[in-house]
A and B are shown apart, each in its own frame.
Chain A
Amino acid sequence: MDEQLNVAPCGYLSLDDEGAILEINETLLGLLGYNFHEVQGRHINLILPIASRSFYQLYFYPMIRLQNKVEEMYISLKSKTEQDIPILLNAFRNERDGKMFNDCVCVPMKRRYEYEQALLAVKRETDTRNKMKKKQIAELDLLRHELESKQNELLELNKKLQKLAVTDELTDLKNRRSLQENLSLNVTLHSERFQTLSLLLIDIDYFKNINDNFGHMMGDNVLRELGKILKDESRKDDIAARYGGEEFAVILPNTNKSEALKIAERIRSRVEKANWDMPNITISIGVATSLSGDTENTLQSRADRALYVSKNRGRNQVTHANDLVHK
């Protein structure tokens, strides 16, 4: 071998197609800790750790055969003392005197190897961290969705409870508590705005007889039917409620005496003409319209008195509280 190549600052190795070592320079022998006679003619596997043997067969061999060259291949060699020596390898497939030689040059890359290992480690760490981050984000998303749907369920439930709290179950009208609240609110609002407000109090005539003669089921039916009529006759802002056994009320916001009487009369007449599957059902109505200084109590008690008068005068009629005062 050329003396300069023998001691050049790189390893030099020549292999035949079977992988036998034909030539090797001093530099590489020094790196491996072998002398020439120990490696000459031996298979390259002698100086390759197990992983490199596979790598040699999987990559180096097909490449040099199909492309006649190998460039910048990283591979590990194994020294006589079984130490791994990472190297960078270039190879050409050259023909000399009719024979094929796979000529390789290699440079140890200990420092570069460590540097690349560190880079790869960082990359793997980043990959793992990214994967974890993605997973955590997905988990958070899931939790957020669950929370939202729970919140919606809760809102839905609240709505139901709220409705239950203000609703009369049998007639689906407002209940007594809700009537009081609404009345109080409306009285305040109307007096602030100097508007008039009317209130109907309604009582079914001889309701006790219905229950006694036809049973509570029928009685309940009558209550439900009346509830429907009241709902039907209510305008958008009117509030119909059942506040006792057979006692109903309708709050008529922004409504004066004559309008209130018209509405009351329409309800009375509709009940009278309805088909009840039993002897005629009628109702008595007391109407009151707000005066300045009214509270819900004064308004309510005037309507109550008017109702009492309707009853006394023979039932199935409407009486307005103002008409009592003048008498």
Chain B
Amino acid sequence: MNQNILIRNNVNVAGRGTKAMLFAPGFGCDQNMWRLVASFFEEHFRVILFDYVGSGKSDYNAYSPSKYRDLKGYAQDIHDICAALELKDVIFVGHSVGAVIGMLASIQEPDRFEQLIMIGPSPCYLNDPPNYSGGFEREDLEALIDMMEMNYIGWANYLSQVIMKNPERPELSKELEESFCSTDPTVARQFAIATFFSDNREDVLKVTVPSLILQCSDDAIAPIEVGRYMHRTLSESTLYLMEATGHCPHVSHPEETVRLINKYLTTTFAGYTSNG
């Protein structure tokens, strides 16, 4: 069972520390997204990376449309991974929807988590006037999902399997292999809908684990108002505004990302000394 979950979610463990640091990628991308950041923490932590079922090198056969219809299914996978590795007092680092998934997991099992580090989280992408501005109108999100749909390189493979029953096209498999983004159109579309049309604002109120919010400037996906909303609503949170622009500071500004996480952990933990 344990082994199955580690294979199902392509779980990779590295690092010389004992304290667990679990990194959850954002929408539609796999653990490669962490490669400029995660290795830094290997000296002091037990660094755990994984892929969501339906992304990266996870077991696509484990995908179930009903389980992954909403983010709870993905939160369950976090529980499964923690249980399989017998993790306790985890420092959870989540990007974008990964942060929200970790937040949901922490509500269910608060004792498992010691800190939530959220990079560009948003509890709700849709605007809900007059009191909430998520940054998007429904048409914008639908256009975004359509654009994703037009870009899945898995399309040809998907269509050929469906229509012509061609089992494989080696050159395409290689391309899929190299890609770190969502490749299965049906899975990715469902994940996109679960991500962008979810409203987890009620859940933000239920979080008891202390958290850090890393908020980029000029983030088109999680605007600064959303970061402020999270900070205001979470029971015990710290908000760092980043110089980094965009939505993926761990890719665009890995040094600043590492530095701020370090700063937060140093002020939070006695005994943990950073070398960064």
Question: Which residues of A pack against B, CB within 8 Å?
Answer: 17-19, 43, 45, 49-59, 61-63, 65-67, 72-76, 116, 120, 123
- Chain A positions within 8 Å of B178 at CB level: 67
Task: State the CA gap A83–B252 with chains docked (Å).
Answer: 30
- Chain B positions within 8 Å of A18 at CB level: 245
- Within the complex, the shortest CB–CB distance from A90 to chain B, in Å, comes to 13
Total interface residues in chain B, CB < 8 Å: 33
A-B CB proximity, top 8 nearest: A51-B143, A57-B247, A53-B220, A51-B144, A50-B140, A74-B150, A62-B251, A65-B251
- Chain B positions within 8 Å of A120 at CB level: 149-150
Most buried by A among B147, B151, B181: B147
B63 at the interface (CB under 8 A from A): no
- Chain A positions within 8 Å of B140 at CB level: 50-51, 54
| CB <8 Å contact, A61 and B251 | yes
- Chain A positions within 8 Å of B247 at CB level: 54, 57-58, 61
**Further contacts, 9 of them, CB under 8 A, given A55-B144, A63-B181, A75-B147:** A45-B218, A50-B140, A54-B247, A57-B246, A58-B27, A59-B151, A66-B33, A76-B143, A116-B150
Query: A59 is contacted by which of B32, B159, B181 (Cβ under 8 Å)?
Result: B181
- Within the complex, the shortest CB–CB distance from A94 to chain B, in Å, comes to 17
- Chain A positions within 8 Å of B239 at CB level: none
Nearest B-chain residue to A84, judged by Cβ: B143
Most buried by B among A51, A52, A63: A51
Contact string against A for B residues 197-239, beta-carbon threshold 8 Å, 1 for contact and 0 otherwise: 0000000000000000000001111000000000000000000
| CB <8 Å contact, B147 and A51 | yes
- Chain B positions within 8 Å of A73 at CB level: 151
| CB <8 Å contact, A45 and B251 | no
Query: B32 is contacted by which of A17, A58, A66 (Cβ under 8 Å)?
Result: A66
| CB <8 Å contact, A17 and B252 | yes
| CB <8 Å contact, A66 and B147 | no
Task: State the CA gap A74–B150 with chains docked (Å).
Answer: 7
| CB <8 Å contact, B246 and A19 | yes
Can you list 11 pairs linking A and B with CB atoms under 8 Å apart? A45-B220, A50-B143, A51-B144, A55-B144, A55-B148, A56-B220, A57-B219, A57-B248, A58-B221, A61-B246, A74-B151
Task: State the CA gap A267–B234 with chains docked (Å).
Answer: 94
Contact string against A for B residues 168-189, beta-carbon threshold 8 Å, 1 for contact and 0 otherwise: 0000000000101100000000
Contact string against A for B residues 147-166, beta-carbon threshold 8 Å, 1 for contact and 0 otherwise: 11111010000010000000
| CB <8 Å contact, B218 and A43 | yes
| CB <8 Å contact, A74 and B147 | yes
- Within the complex, the shortest CB–CB distance from B157 to chain A, in Å, comes to 14
Nearest B-chain residue to A113, judged by Cβ: B150
- Within the complex, the shortest CB–CB distance from A59 to chain B, in Å, comes to 6
| CB <8 Å contact, A54 and B220 | yes
